[in-house]
Amino acid sequence: MKRVIVILSIISSMIFVALFVYSYNTLNKNNILSLTNDDIKKIITNKIEQNTIVYDKSGEKIGEFFSNYSIQLNYDDIPPFLIQAIISTEDRKFYNHSGLDYKAILRAIKNMILTRSFHQGASTITQQIVKNLILTHKRTIERKIIEAYLSLKLEKMFSKKEIFEFYANNMFLGNGSYGVAAAARRYFNKDIHELLPEQMALIAGLFQSPSKYNPFKHPELAKQRQKIVLTGMYENGFINDEEYFALLNRDLNYAPYTSINNTIAPYFLDYIKEEVTEILKQKPDGKGYRIYTTLDLQRQLKAQQSIDSLPSIVSNLIKDEKLAEKYLSLMEASLISIDPKTGAILTMIGGRDFNKSQFNTTTSSLRSLGSLFKPVVYTLALLQGKKWSDLMFISPISVAGYRPKNVNSSFLKEATMMKAFYSSLNTSAVELGTSLGLDEVISFAERLGIRTPLKHEYGTFIGSSDVSFFDILRLYEVYANQGVINEIYSIEKILDPSGRVIYDIASDTKRNVATEVLDKDTAFLLQEGLKNVVRYGTARKLADFSGYVAGKTGTTNDSKDNWFCGYTNDTLSLVWVGSNENLPPSISGSSIAIPIWRSFMEDSIKTKISTPISENLISYRINPVYGTISDQGIKMYFKKDNEPDTRKSSYEVIENYSGKYRGMFEDL
């Protein structure tokens, strides 16, 4: 008997030595022994992903970027019931072992010998972390040896709480979720702290085989697995008889996950991802960044409601229901607003329905801006000595074969430059632009913020060229901001997962730029013209906001592009409704863009536009038709060295002489 014991001892020793040598050679061959603690930490850190979160200007969450949907939690933020459920199911000795469960390993070896096949098993939570975050899932003896070594090493490097955090936050739990907090969202559409105990038990059961126990695909198997979890908790003393049966019989009430990215500001989030990628030279998905943006969430929701009002607006314009539906199906619409004093984007609606089209017209489209271009022509004219009271003869014109037409306007009359402006007369703009010079106007437009190349044609004077939405916003910033363009931006700062600021708009010399492109006096004169567009002109549907709003309508040929760009003291908003097909004449910037703009802006219009008036400017009341000083005229501003003359116009003399004069305000 002693001899047998001795022989068995020798054999065991030999097996132990052989196993030790084999293990050492395995670890050495795979360069595992040379790994430092920092090496291992780096490997784990690089494998762990965390959702990048996007916030609005007030710190409200509006979106998240990820490749693997993961939400990282501290141990103390994981509900105790869920911790108990996971421990009871996956590793009951977790708090007592040093990384390996030796009894379980012996059982696995015995099973391997008896079945002559190797099955993965006997894995502690620590081993599962090594397998998922450091190694591969390849089933070999060598990999199992490496796994065991690294598990022992991890237990010395990290506390039990830290190891459990790795496990609870990063294991794949099915349905695109990594970790318990992500699973709470994916299966129940809840924050993890909102989960009921029976729901936590189901999530704890997913670690073993998330595909097999996916409740959306296999609800009966998921329920059976939940029972195993609750049984383990009962056996471990975490729940009593009454709690066990109560939890087992409760409905789980699944709720499919709804992505926040597609509901609040989807077009803006796509734009933010592009901006972050450009700034940091890498995509933000899964990097755990915290991105603080300029978006105003409440106004964004209001903007979406305003765009959603398009069907009712169209039905009011086109009484034939089928015809209205036909034209509505051809239309797209968008709305973007900024703070003109800073250039910060406040809202962005890039299209009517993100689920149908992800194309963002506000950032990616070039459209003909129509009469929105006319302020460029009139600004250059005022800068070169023209004044609002100057008379223009309204008549058909032809410039190198180009014959612009006026909408709803009589010819063979005189009008002041102001009236021609707020009435948006095409012939006057072309005549004025021609006198200034096409090259000069195009060059001046570039100076005022239009960066898209303009067509070298006379139609450019009335907006035949295609430009970007940002071009238009920069142009109207000039008038809203006393001649200064602020670069348009969307991100205030970016933090890395540790909370360190890695980007701040204050230090961005590309985006945080203010450029004076026009003197304050001329900018003020144009602003007064834009106010009169609202008081008397093509935007008079907003006349009840006279003094509070300045802006301009725009409508291109066949109503393919319909605009209103208007601003208040603190918001510059651009609305576009258009199509690549011809639309009926009843569709225009005034009829369709202004109602959307009004719906969005009316609740936030509180104070009149309060631009300081320079000492270099003086005001007179001017007859808008004849350009003469009149106590009953409309207020116009002039530079002190370029005031209106007192002579009567020829048209006024003729009207008075013939007895056909009907009052100077009839044609406002």
DSSP code at position 287: B
pLDDT of residue 660: 47
Q: Which CATH class is domain 337-483+518-604?
A: alpha beta
Higher pLDDT, 413 or 62: 62
Residue 379 CA to residue 323 CA, distance in Å, equals 41
pLDDT of residue 559: 95
622: which strand partners?
629, 634
Question: pTM for the whole thing?
Answer: 0.88
Residue 508 CA to residue 38 CA, distance in Å, equals 34
The answer to whether residue 60 scores a pLDDT higher than 70 is yes
pLDDT of residue 665: 46
Higher pLDDT, 17 or 81: 81
How do beta strands 514-516 and 484-486 pair? antiparallel
Closest of 412, 335, 422 to residue 371, by C-alpha: 422
Alpha helices for 423-582 (secondary structure H): 426-436, 438-447, 469-480, 520-535
Tell me the pLDDT tens digit for each residue of 475-495: 999 999 999 999 999 999 999
The answer to whether residue 620 scores a pLDDT higher than 80 is yes
pLDDT of residue 655: 59
Higher pLDDT, 103 or 545: 545
Residue 358 CA to residue 13 CA, distance in Å, equals 68
Mean per-residue pLDDT, 335-359: 97
The answer to whether residue 529 scores a pLDDT higher than 70 is yes
Residue 7 CA to residue 13 CA, distance in Å, equals 10
Domain positions in the chain: 337-483+518-604, 617-658
pLDDT of residue 661: 43
Tell me the pLDDT tens digit for each residue of 175-192: 999 999 999 999 999 999
**pLDDT band (50, 70, 90) for residue 16:** very low
- Write phi, then psi, for 291 (nearest 5 degrees): -105, 120
Residue 305 CA to residue 447 CA, distance in Å, equals 35
> Degrees (nearest 5) of the Cα angle 13, 17, 18?
115
The answer to whether residue 523 scores a pLDDT higher than 70 is yes
The answer to whether residue 121 scores a pLDDT higher than 60 is no
**pLDDT band (50, 70, 90) for residue 5:** low
pLDDT of residue 31: 64
Mean per-residue pLDDT, 13-17: 51
Residue located via tokens 């270099």: 616
Tell me the pLDDT tens digit for each residue of 380-429: 999 999 999 999 988 788 787 778 888 765 555 789 999 999 999 999 99
The answer to whether residue 133 scores a pLDDT higher than 90 is no
pLDDT of residue 284: 96
Higher pLDDT, 316 or 115: 316
552: which strand partners?
565
The answer to whether residue 102 scores a pLDDT higher than 60 is yes
Closest of 210, 201, 258 to residue 228, by C-alpha: 201
- Rg of the chain (C-alpha set): 36
Task: Report whether 481 contacts 384 (CB < 8 A).
Answer: no
pLDDT of residue 63: 96
Alpha helices for 116-179 (secondary structure H): 125-133, 141-157, 160-170
**pLDDT band (50, 70, 90) for residue 455:** very high
Mean per-residue pLDDT, 533-561: 97
Task: Report whether 134 contacts 40 (CB < 8 A).
Answer: yes
Burial of residue 218 (number of CB atoms within 10 Å: 0-12, 13-18, 19+)? middle
Residue 373 CA to residue 462 CA, distance in Å, equals 6
Residue 204 CA to residue 173 CA, distance in Å, equals 9
pLDDT of residue 664: 46
pLDDT of residue 406: 82
Task: Report whether 533 contacts 565 (CB < 8 A).
Answer: no
Which of the residue ranges 20-24, 295-299, 357-361 would you say has the lowest mean pLDDT? Answer: 20-24
CA atoms within 13 A on the CB side of 356: 7
Residue located via tokens 């005229």: 633
The answer to whether residue 621 scores a pLDDT higher than 60 is yes
The answer to whether residue 519 scores a pLDDT higher than 60 is yes
Those residues whose C-beta lies under 8 Å from the C-beta of residue 612, and which sit 6 or more positions away, are none
Q: Is 242 left (phi over 0), alpha (psi -120 to 50) or beta?
A: alpha
Q: What percent of the chain stands above pLDDT 70?
A: 87
Residue 483 CA to residue 477 CA, distance in Å, equals 8
**pLDDT band (50, 70, 90) for residue 4:** low
pLDDT of residue 35: 75
Mean per-residue pLDDT, 162-183: 95
Residue 102 CA to residue 527 CA, distance in Å, equals 82
